Amino acid sequence: MGEGKPAPTGTGKKQIPLRLSNRLYAEIAAWAEDEFRSVNGQIEYLLTECVKKRKAGER
């Protein structure tokens, strides 16, 4: 339930719906532009970094 659509063959990525406030989206979009990423790429980067930090804290 709520796991997202299956990824197309070969991409190894899931598609999920994500709802953001207009303010949060604008902040992420500006940040993404500063780092030459798409908004989607920026969200993926941020989530990846958060997971890495969480795993590092578990050691």
Domains of the chain by residue range = 22-57
First to last CA, the chain: 31
Quote the pLDDT of residue 57: 87
Per-residue pLDDT reduced to its tens digit, 15-31: 999 999 999 999 999 99
Query: pTM here?
Result: 0.74
pLDDT beyond 60 at 52: yes
Token duo for residue 33: 């532009």
42 CB neighbour count, 10 Å cutoff: 19
Model confidence pLDDT, tens digit, residues 39-50: 999 999 999 999
Nearest to 13 by CA among 44, 54, 39: 44
DSSP assigned state of 38: -
The more confident residue out of 20 and 6 is 20
